[in-house]
């Protein structure tokens, strides 16, 4: 009887993608004898996903990705994964009471409701969406060879679109996607953009 050599499978990162990959590989069982290693640089697994509780108020805060639209293909895959892990009772479904259609910005030490359907027509924005699009079309320019090579994403948004966009939308996008500060991340990786 021949013996199958063990396989070693290494996964770099114990965030959502790494843990999902490890789970799916464990279901496939690439060989009768295999070792699965997850290499994570931090002291905890989960990556950007982290929920903390304010002990004085009992309120929970998500410090990373926190929602998914079940209607989208990527979120339906995450839902199937959660259900296969037996997490059905841990899923919190949003009520249809405006939470899905409103966004909030913390500006000048207060929380302002900004409806997602009319985001540019609400404070803190001072110009109409049409004005923003018109300015964007008139200021449209690509990276040039004489431009400095290492501008921040914040500066990219300010010079290509508008300061309000950089402050209120660009900053939130970068924090939501990269969990970073748009003033500290460089746009060199995006040099092929023509915004």
pTM of the predicted structure, to 2 decimals: 0.48
d(CA 74, CA 110): 34
For residues 76 and 158, which has the higher predicted lDDT (pLDDT)?
158
What integer best gives the mean pLDDT of the chain? 74
Q: What is the pLDDT of residue 124?
A: 59
| Residue at a domain's end among 93, 117, 150 | 93
Count of structural domains, the chain: 3
**Bridge partner list, 113:** 104
- CB-count burial class (<10 Å; 0-12, 13-18, 19+) for 157: buried
Per the domain annotation, does 195 fall within a domain?
A: no
Q: What is the pLDDT of residue 11?
A: 93
Whether pLDDT at 2 is above 70: no
DSSP strands (E only) in the chain: 7-12, 34-39, 51-53, 60-62, 102-107, 110-115
Do 43 and 69 belong together in one domain?
A: no
DSSP state of 54: -
DSSP state of 62: E
Do 56 and 34 belong together in one domain?
A: no
The Cα diameter of the chain in Å comes to: 77
Least reliable range by pLDDT among 31-45, 61-75, 78-92, 149-163: 61-75
Per the domain annotation, does 80 fall within a domain?
A: yes
Q: pLDDT confidence of 195, banded at 50, 70, 90?
A: very low
d(CA 115, CA 90): 28
Q: What is the mean pLDDT of residues 34-54?
A: 86
For residues 55 and 91, which has the higher predicted lDDT (pLDDT)?
55
Do 86 and 114 belong together in one domain?
A: no
d(CA 153, CA 188): 9
The fraction of the chain above a pLDDT of 90, given in percent, is 6
Do 186 and 106 belong together in one domain?
A: yes
Do 19 and 72 belong together in one domain?
A: no
Residues of the domain holding 179: 102-190
């Amino acid at each position: 009887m021949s013996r199958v050599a063990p396989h070693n499978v290494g996964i770099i990162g114990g965030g959502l993608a790494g843990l999902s990959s490890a789970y799916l590989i464990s279901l496939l069982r690439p060989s009768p004898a295999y070792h699965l290693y997850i290499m994570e640089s931090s002291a905890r697994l989960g990556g950007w996903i982290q929920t903390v509780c304010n002990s004085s108020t009992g309120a929970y805060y998500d410090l990373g990705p926190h929602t998914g639209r079940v209607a989208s293909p990527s979120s339906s895959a995450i839902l199937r994964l959660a259900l296969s892990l037996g997490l059905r009772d841990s899923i919190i479904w949003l009520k249809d009471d405006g939470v899905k259609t409103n966004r909030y910005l913390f500006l000048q030490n207060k929380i302002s409701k900004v409806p997602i359907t009319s985001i540019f027509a609400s404070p803190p924005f001072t110009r109409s969406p049409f004005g923003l699009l018109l300015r964007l079309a008139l200021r449209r320019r690509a990276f040039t060879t004489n431009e400095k090579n290492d501008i921040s994403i914040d500066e990219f948004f300010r010079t290509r679109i508008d300061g309000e966009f950089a402050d209120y939308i660009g900053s939130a996008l970068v924090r939501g996607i990269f969990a970073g500060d748009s003033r500290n991340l460089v746009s060199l990786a995006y040099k092929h953009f023509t915004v």
